[in-house]
């Protein structure tokens, strides 16, 4: 009891004093070490003195860290992990109905393969096509199979704040460890609107939230400044960053603190994201190569860049070709090809175009997901990285407001070529209330052609497109191979 009183005096005048005040007049149980004598901060158990010292060093950040830990522990929820969290594709029968038996088997497969977390009912899970009852069934089955052994994150974000609160409360009731909440899409709220939206959801719900920023799909960017502000909320515990801009992770790690989880949403860039300070990836590739993705993330988190790069290179074809058509079309075809699920998918999505089958099979083979695929010559087919001639280019300009980058990528694919995004960077957003679509960006692309003539034709057409789209103020530079 003396320790409790000393701590209360030390914290007098701070927001924590008011929080502890009701406990001081309670029964002797209030002084138990489990209540006040130990605090969990950033995954470590610390004494009150150590916690107080941290609070003095970084008052706002440490306050958020303590409260976030208390929110998770008080409800008996599993804390968010580092490593590989799979953005799970929802198994369906050929007629599009839920395949609950296969869902159970796939969940157990991920547990055995070492997947660190399960993210259900996101874009990859076709949540927008599922009914309320179907979502409830997916959550219930996932909890039955993995509850208490692997953290379960449920996608609950919608265009409406009230609908998002309702979906998040549903996930909370069914035992989710956290909710993944995407920025409202299509309506393009300001930064103030985004902050108010996420704050309203966090205030209304008990389950911890992971922010999801994917401007390429939603049309709105959650700025670093807004993310840092929201990270102070005790129930906002992480971010899925699908901007493709790995320069953000360093500042966010510094300003949000070590306990705030930072996940890449871009499979091809996740290794580098973690090496720069991130915690892991919410991965589509992990649907088909769960063990390999988990190992890459573990190596990167441990600082083993060479080891992570070597293993991740075998997955490069999957990182690329699982997006040859809109997600989750390719990954659902790949899972069926592996014999893990049936081929079911719901309209308006349809099964993968046959033109991409051999290409994705080669990527599955390179990633160790299936055995060698017999080619026309009797050998095995190789992906573009192995046999196609390639040219690296640097594309700079106003790539987003004009739609130039999307048109370049579509041109390459429509002409039978392929591409690999090597690097992406963008100027900081200089508008505090709106996403600045006019900021300059640069993208390093490796363009593949079936042969030298096809590659030369692709480069010629891309140059022509850049010159025609004057509004993009674009510049293309061929990088010496």
Active-site pick, 212, 235, 261, 273: 212
Active-site pick, 240, 295, 332, 446: 240
Q: Is 273 a catalytic residue?
A: no
Q: Is 240 a catalytic residue?
A: yes
* Helical axes 404-414 vs 452-468, angle rounded to 10°: 150
Q: Are 322 and 73 in contact (CB under 8 A)?
A: no
| Active-site amino acid positions | 212, 240
């Amino acid at each position: 009891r003396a320790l409790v009183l000393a701590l209360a005096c030390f914290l007098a005048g701070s927001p924590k004093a008011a929080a502890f005040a009701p406990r001081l007049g309670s029964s002797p149980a209030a002084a138990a070490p489990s209540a006040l004598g130990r605090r969990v901060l950033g995954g470590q158990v610390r004494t009150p003195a150590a916690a107080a010292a941290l609070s003095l060093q970084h008052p706002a950040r440490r306050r958020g860290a303590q409260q976030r830990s208390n929110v998770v522990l008080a409800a008996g929820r599993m804390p968010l992990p580092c490593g590989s969290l799979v953005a799970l594709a929802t198994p369906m029968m050929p007629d599009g109905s839920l395949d609950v038996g296969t869902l159970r088997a796939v969940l157990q497969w991920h547990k055995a393969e070492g997947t660190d977390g399960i993210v259900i009912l996101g874009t990859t899970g076709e949540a927008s096509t599922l009914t309320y009852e179907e979502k409830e069934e997916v959550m219930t089955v996932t909890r039955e199979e993995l509850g208490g052994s692997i953290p379960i994150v449920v996608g609950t974000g919608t265009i409406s704040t009230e609908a998002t609160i309702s979906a998040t409360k549903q996930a909370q009731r069914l035992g989710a460890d956290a909710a993944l909440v995407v920025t409202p899409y299509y309506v393009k709220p300001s930064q103030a609107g985004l902050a108010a939206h996420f704050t309203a959801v966090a205030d209304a719900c008990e389950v911890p939230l992971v922010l999801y920023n994917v401007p390429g799909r939603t049309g709105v960017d959650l700025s670093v400044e807004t993310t840092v502000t929201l990270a102070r909320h005790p129930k906002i515990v992480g971010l899925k960053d699908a901007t493709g801009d790995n320069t953000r992770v360093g500042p966010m790690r510094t300003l949000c603190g070590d306990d705030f989880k930072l996940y890449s949403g871009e499979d091809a860039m996740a290794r580098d994201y973690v090496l720069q300070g991130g915690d892991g990836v919410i991965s589509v590739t992990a649907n088909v190569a769960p063990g390999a993705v988990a190992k890459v993330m573990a190596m990167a988190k441990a600082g083993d860049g060479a080891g992570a790069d070597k293993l991740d290179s075998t997955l490069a074809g999957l990182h690329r070709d699982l997006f040859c058509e809109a997600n989750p079309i390719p990954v659902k075809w790949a899972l069926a090809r592996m014999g893990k699920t049936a081929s079911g998918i719901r309209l308006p999505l349809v099964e993968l175009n046959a033109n991409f089958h051999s290409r994705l099979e080669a990527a599955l083979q390179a990633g160790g997901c299936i055995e060698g695929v017999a080619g026309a010559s009797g050998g095995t087919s190789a992906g573009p990285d192995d046999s196609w001639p390639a040219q690296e280019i640097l594309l700079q300009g106003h790539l987003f407001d004009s739609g130039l980058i999307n048109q370049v990528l579509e041109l390459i694919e429509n002409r039978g070529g392929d591409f690999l995004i090597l690097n992406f960077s963008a100027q900081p957003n200089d508008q505090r209330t709106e996403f600045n679509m006019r900021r300059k960006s640069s993208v390093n692309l490796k363009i593949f052609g079936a042969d030298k003539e096809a590659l030369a034709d692709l480069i010629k057409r891309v140059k022509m497109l850049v010159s025609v789209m004057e509004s993009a103020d674009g510049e293309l530079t061929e990088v010496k191979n």
